[in-house]
Amino acid sequence: GESVGLHLPTLSVQEGDNSIINCAYSNSASDYFIWYKQESGKGPQFIIDIRSNMDKRQGQRVTVLLNKTVKHLSLQIAATQPGDSAVYFCAETGGTSYGKLTFGQGTILTVHP
C-alpha cells in the first residue's frame, strides 16, 4: 500500500554540526508534506511544511527539500543543538485523503554536547 518511510532510524551528531534526515514516499498523489518533531512523552510538534509546487523551503535553522522525481524529502537542521534531540517524522497528505496525515517511521536524532 501507499506509505511514507525513512532511510535511517537513528542519527547521532555533535553539537554545532548540521543534520540531515531523509524520507521517501510512494504516494504520487501526495501534494503536501510536513516535518514533525516529537520529544519523549509529548505529542508531535510542527517544524516546517512544503507544498508540491515547491522544491525548497527555509525556516529558522531548518530547510526542507522536496524531490518529486524520486519521491524524496529531507530535513536539514543547521548548527544542531542538544535541544534538537528528538524523534523526527515526515508526514504527507493529498490526493483524496485531505486531512489524513500519513506518517513515516521516524528518525531518532541524538545531539552530543
Partner 1 sequence: NAGVMQNPRHLVRRRGQEARLRCSPMKGHSHVYWYRQLPEEGLKFMVYLQKENIIDESGMPKERFSAEFPKEGPSILRIQQVVRGDSAAYFCASSPQAARTSAYNEQFFGPGTRLTVL
Q: Percent helix, strand and coil across the chain, each rounded to 5?
A: 5, 55, 40
Nearer to partner 1, 1 or 113 (CB): 1
- Bridge partners, residue 67, by sequence: 72
CA distance 84 to 38: 10
| Minimum distance of partner 1 from residue 16's CB (angstroms) | 28
Query: Could you list the residues that contact partner 1 (CB under 8 A)?
Result: 4, 31-32, 34, 36, 41-46, 49, 51, 89, 91, 93-94, 97-106
| Minimum distance of partner 1 from residue 100's CB (angstroms) | 5
